[in-house]
């Protein structure tokens, strides 16, 4: 196996961290835009207001006198600008996500070819028998304890005679395997 150049791996990790920070900034901008759009929409859709699409002129094509037309136009314009910026932000967000996933794949590839073992964790527990500190990497897993107890049970049973039924089942399977059926 080849060893990964440490410089490349650390550069990739820095790039991944930088991309995550950029993504968080983009997400924050996106949330702020969405909040502003929601507030402006709420103002335009309040009672007595024309909303986002209602006409600003009456039946005779005169400006309506029951609304503040410059303010409505300003809010509608701001919403249109924010929606355009929001779409552009989503495109940027998507590109950065793809870039981050590509960097993470490269980091994973480096992890697959690295030969150096990962550092062990701090001492957290003590060995139950000797009461000495045990590092996390030396601590036996629960599954290995279970396997050890099963091995001991099987070892004890090995000396006991098999019951006729068990022996018959085993012999049947062995003969079927030999005959290929």
pLDDT exceeds cutoff 70 at 84: yes
Helix or strand run (H / E) with residue 166: helix 164-179
How much of the chain exceeds pLDDT 90, in percent?
49
pLDDT exceeds cutoff 90 at 24: yes
Instruction: Mark whether 103 and 58 lie in a shared domain.
Output: yes
Instruction: Mark whether 102 and 143 lie in a shared domain.
Output: no
**Mean of per-residue pLDDT scores for the chain:** 77
Instruction: Mark whether 78 and 24 lie in a shared domain.
Output: yes
Per-residue confidence band for 31, with pLDDT thresholds at 50, 70 and 90 = very high
Query: Which pLDDT belongs to residue 123?
Result: 47
- Find residue 126's DSSP bridge partners: 133
| 5 Cβ contact partners less than 8 Å away, ≥ 6 residues apart | none
- Find residue 123's DSSP bridge partners: 135
108 vs 153 pLDDT, higher one: 108
How much of the chain exceeds pLDDT 70, in percent?
57
Q: Exposed, middle or buried by CB within 10 Å (0-12, 13-18, 19+), for 12? A: buried
pLDDT exceeds cutoff 80 at 156: no
Do 110 and 37 contact (CB within 8 A), yes or no? no
Q: Where are the alpha helices (DSSP H) in the chain?
A: 6-44, 69-113, 142-158, 164-179
In a domain, 1, yes or no: no
Query: Which pLDDT belongs to residue 99?
Result: 94
Q: Which domain holds residue 148?
A: 123-179
122 vs 99 pLDDT, higher one: 99
Last residue of a domain, one of 113, 132, 166: 113
The tally of domains found in the chain comes to 2
Instruction: Mark whether 55 and 106 lie in a shared domain.
Output: yes
Look at residues 145, 118, 144, 122 and name the one whose alpha carbon lies nearest to residue 135.
Answer: 122
Look at residues 113, 119, 118 and name the one whose alpha carbon lies nearest to residue 4.
Answer: 113
Instruction: Mark whether 20 and 49 lie in a shared domain.
Output: yes
Instruction: Mark whether 73 and 129 lie in a shared domain.
Output: no
pTM for the full model? 0.55
Instruction: Mark whether 24 and 102 lie in a shared domain.
Output: yes
Look at residues 46, 42, 36 and name the one whose alpha carbon lies nearest to residue 83.
Answer: 36
Last residue of a domain, one of 79, 113, 147: 113
């Amino acid at each position: 196996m080849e060893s990964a150049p440490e410089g490349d791996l650390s550069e990739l990790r820095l790039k991944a961290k930088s991309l995550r920070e950029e993504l968080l900034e983009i997400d924050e901008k996106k949330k702020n835009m969405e909040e502003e759009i929601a507030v402006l929409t709420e103002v335009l859709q309040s009672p007595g207001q024309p909303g986002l699409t209602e006409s600003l002129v009456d039946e005779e094509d005169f400006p309506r006198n029951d609304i503040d037309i410059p303010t409505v136009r300003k809010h509608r314009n701001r919403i249109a600008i924010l929606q355009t910026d929001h779409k552009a932000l989503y495109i940027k967000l998507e590109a950065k996500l793809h870039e981050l996933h590509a960097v993470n794949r490269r980091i994973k590839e480096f992890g697959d070819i690295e030969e150096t073992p990962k550092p062990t964790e701090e001492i957290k527990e003590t060995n139950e028998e000797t009461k000495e500190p045990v590092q996390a990497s030396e601590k036996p897993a629960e599954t290995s304890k279970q396997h050890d107890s099963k091995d001991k049970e099987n070892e004890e049973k090995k000396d006991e005679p098999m019951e006729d039924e068990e022996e018959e089942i085993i012999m049947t399977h062995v003969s079927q395997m030999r005959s290929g059926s």
